[in-house]
Amino acid sequence: MTMHLHTTGIARAKPGAPAPPPPELSPPPRPRHPSRDVEGKKTAARPLFDPAIVKPAIVAAFRKLDPRHQARNPVMFVVLAGSALTTALFVHALLSEREGEEPAGFILAVSLWLWFTVLFANFAEAVAEGRGKAQADTLRKARRDVEAVKLARPERDAERVAVPASSLRRGDLVLVEAGAIIPGDGDVVVGVASVDESAVTGESAPVVRESGGDRSAVTGGTRVLSDWLVLRISANPGEAFLDRMISMVEGAKRKKTPNEIALDILLAALTIVFLLATVTLLPYSVFSVRAAGQGTPISITVLTALLVCLIPTTIGGLLSAIGIAGMDRMIQANVIAMSGRAVEAAGDVDVLLLDKTGTITLGNRQATALLPTDGVEARALADAAQLASLADETPEGRSVVVLAKEKYGLRERDLSALGARFVPFSAQTRMSGVDSGAREIRKGAFDAIEAYVKEKGGAVPSAVRAATEAIARKGGTPLVVAEGGEVLGVIHLKDIVKGGIKERFGDLRRMGIKTVMITGDNPLTAAAIAAEAGVDDFLAQATPEAKLKMIRDYQAGGRLVAMTGDGTNDAPALAQADVAVAMNTGTQAAKEAGNMVDLDSNPTKLIEIVEIGKQLLMTRGALTTFSLANDVAKYFAIIPAAFVSTYPALGRLNVMGLATPRSAVLSAVIFNALIIVALIPLALRGIRYRSVGAERMLRRNLLVYGAGGLIVPFVGIKGIDLLLSALGLV
């Protein structure tokens, strides 16, 4: 049973990891994503249309008219070609003495709205890129060429030479003292210091960095606030973490994801099909008119408008903006994704591996109950437990003092005023306590207290033994309290599960995502915590090999796995996982193995990352459904207008009762441009995240965006037609 017991005086930590820094140096990170934090609180978002972003985006929209840029998007390239063609037809109509195929004013109107369609799509992409570049500019300010103190040996008093930070190479040793800027990415070799990382993370609270363990990595551009550090540089110029962050957020290295490539292929195929169909309509129309001896053939202007309205211009114009905005939402959550592929993979994840300590639980055991033995009053046990914990500065010790004060009204006392002497915890005795006059109070593990009272001539009551076993079975930590040779009772220490985390796991379960808790605890304790937290499975007594095997087993079954880690021992599993989130406070090996870096080093962020990935896929799916559905209304607007003179019977398809054929064509073209404008905010912000399964989400998309895509164009095109008729423009 001793395998379940933990001694006081030692804060709970992951096996093999160093003790965490003092609480005041590691406050909870400030949430940035416009969604919810773990407790469900709303968080602030960056303005959607910041003037500082919109103005450059307008300029960029015109610059992106370059055919070489448009050629990357076949849908918008066709629209660009149609715009140029109708412009040429307008110029020809003005210069020609004969009447053109259509009135010059009508051709000009169609041409202008086609140009606007391309510009609006370019503007959406430019705004999405601008939001990332704004973040990159902020990061670029943190990158500066400072003077570094290069050392010959990893010792503070070694021979020094001042060099520019830009000349440092991987493996160089540098000294950074209080007030100095860290010249480059590196690992602490000697020393411990408080570091201000606000230039990178945005958090004002300093963090502790020290040699060894999982808190040895530092980032160039941050500042040492106190003490000093000897660093070994881990990146050459241009390869530092800050450089990679800047290139990532600017989208310079953004690669299309498999789903995005598949959608591109679909859009290109639809474009080719409609292009071939439209091209064949002109000779068919001419042949029909000549054969019938009446009517007029369809004009090239109308054919161009028909093609642009038939191809999926809505999703084609917004697809790039959706992908870039997904990466931007990661940046707002203070997560750097190495590629768009990683963001999309987060949306497809169906297994989450989460560390217990600090992620599912608060990480510090708290006293939750005092259980007196037979014949002992609860207040007497509380008094002894509080006295023994007054000088115990561990989270467990402070929680005992607070519990006695809040539940039993015992105020804190001054040990020096009482003439008491605190007995600190030691690995040999596995106890701590206080000696005050004739009183000798001790608290510690069951077997340590049992040996202590035996020396005093006492014995442990059977009720205390039963209580310690019951607490251990529930996953708690029992501390036995004794005074002299008498055992007073048991303190129940518990690793507190974070508030709201069980509900979040429930949301993930409804989405079809399995949650797995990873812990170094024994199976009995792990099972109790897993049951309380509501996870689906757990891995106890986890080792690097066990984590790696679990991930491979899930992947062999066709599952996509996400996990988070910060240590070198996490690197193999991070490298294997489909979505691997490394903590910024972690080792260089962990950050290199992952495909995302959490600048806040908040393990719970993994849940938010999955939600952002899901939101990206939901947004793309919803807008694709809407785009394909609203083409139906355009068929009813343009096809009757285009062929009514050749085939009068097609007039029956004019179910919207549009005023004239030209009004129908122009109304459809205008709506086609304006709907892109209307959907830009949705593409950038994303549709509202909902924790529902894929099947339910598909039904919802078909109902809302499918049906909406059918209805909205009928209303919009008819409204534009009435406006054009009222203004006498057609």
Name the CA dihedral angle for 176, 178, 181, 185, rounded to a multiple of 10 degrees.
40
Residue 141 CA, chain-centre distance (Å), reads 24
Whether the per-residue pLDDT at 647 is higher than 60: the answer is yes
Return d(Cα 591, Cα 574) in angstroms, integer.
9
The pLDDT value given to residue 523:
81
Chain position carrying tokens 């006492």: 458
Residue type for position 279: V
Provide the pLDDT for residue 182: 87
State percent of the chain over pLDDT 90. Answer: 14
Per-residue confidence band for 22, with pLDDT thresholds at 50, 70 and 90: very low
Using a 10 angstrom Cβ sphere, with 0-12 exposed, 13-18 middle and 19 or more buried, the burial of residue 399 is: buried
**Rounded Cα gap, residues 328 and 133, in angstroms:** 10
Q: Where is the binding site for Mg(2+), in residues?
A: 566, 570
Task: State how far the Cα of 203 lies from the Cα of 194, in Å rounded to an integer.
Answer: 14
Pairing between strand 514-518 and 596-598? unpaired
**Statement: residue 174 has pLDDT above 90:** yes
φ and ψ of 327, to 5 deg: -65, -35
Mean pLDDT within 662-667: 88
The type of residue at 285 is S
Q: Is the pLDDT of residue 45 over 90?
A: no
Residue 344 confidence class, pLDDT cut points 50, 70, 90: confident
Percent of the chain with pLDDT over 70: 82
Q: Which of 263, 241, 318, 284 is nearest to 79 (CA)?
A: 318
pLDDT at 19: 36
Active site residue 536: no
Does residue 498 or residue 238 have the better pLDDT?
498
Q: How many CA atoms lie within 13 A of 284 on its CB side?
A: 10
Write out the two tokens for 38: 């773990």
Given a contact cutoff of 8 angstroms between Cβ atoms, the answer to whether 299 and 85 are in contact is no
- How far is Cα 622 from Cα 106, in angstroms, rounded to an integer? 34
Q: Write the pLDDT tens digit of every residue in 407-458.
A: 888 887 776 777 788 888 776 777 889 998 888 999 988 888 999 999 888 8
Residues 6+ apart with CB under 8 A from 286: 297
- Centroid of chain to Cα 479: 40
604/31 Cα distance (integer angstroms): 11
The confidence band for 203, taking pLDDT boundaries of 50, 70 and 90, is low
SS3 of residue 366 by DSSP: strand
DSSP-assigned letter for residue 88: H
pLDDT confidence bin for 239, thresholds 50/70/90? low
Q: Which of 243, 355, 495, 600 is catalytic?
A: 355
- As a whole number of angstroms, the distance between CA 445 and CA 440 comes to 16
- By three-state DSSP, how is residue 677 classified? helix
3-state secondary structure of 53: helix
What pLDDT score does 583 carry?
79
Gyration radius (Cα) of the chain, Å = 34
Task: Identify which has the larger pLDDT, 243 or 180.
Answer: 180
pLDDT above 60 for 142:
no
578-597 CB burial, b ≥16 within 10 A, e <16: bbbbbbbbbbbbbbebbbbb
pLDDT of residue 201: 57
For range 11-30, the mean pLDDT:
34
Q: Are 323 and 534 in contact (CB under 8 A)?
A: no
Spatial CA neighbour of 493 closest among 355, 400, 568? 400
- Read off the tokens for 377: 């009053």
Mean pLDDT over the full length of the chain: 79
Query: Which contacts (CB < 8 Å, 24+ apart) does range 272-277 have?
Result: 272/74, 274/307, 274/310, 274/311, 275/78, 275/307, 275/311, 277/310
Query: How far apart, in Å, are the Cα atoms of 537 and each of 13, 363, 472, 557?
Result: 21, 19, 20, 16
Q: 308 with 117: CB under 8 angstroms?
A: yes
φ, ψ dihedrals at 532, nearest 5°: -70, -40
Question: What domains are there in the chain, each with its CATH number?
Answer: 51-132+253-327+626-677+693-727 (no CATH), 147-183+185-234 (2.70.150.10), 335-360+498-599 (3.40.50.1000), 365-491 (3.40.1110.10)
According to DSSP, the β-strands at 561-565 and 596-598 are: unpaired
What's the confidence (pLDDT) of residue 20? 36
Count of beta carbons in the 10 Å neighbourhood of residue 218:
26
Distance separating alpha carbons of residues 226 and 208, to the nearest angstrom: 10
What one-character-per-residue DSSP string does 296-313 give? -PPPHHHHHHHHHHHS-H
The CA–CA distances, whole Å, from 716 to 107, 116, 673, 709, 722 equal: 21, 17, 12, 11, 10
Separate counts of helices (H) and strands (E) for the chain: 24, 20
Q: How confident is the model at residue 339 (pLDDT cuts 50, 70, 90)?
A: low
Cα 133 from chain centroid (whole Å) = 18
**Among candidates 332, 320, 327, which has minimal Cα distance to 247?**
327
- Residues of each annotated binding site: 392, 396, 425-432, 443, 566, 570
What are φ and ψ of residue 510, in 5° steps?
A: -65, -25
- Mean pLDDT for 275-303 is 82
Contact 589, 597 (CB under 8 A): no
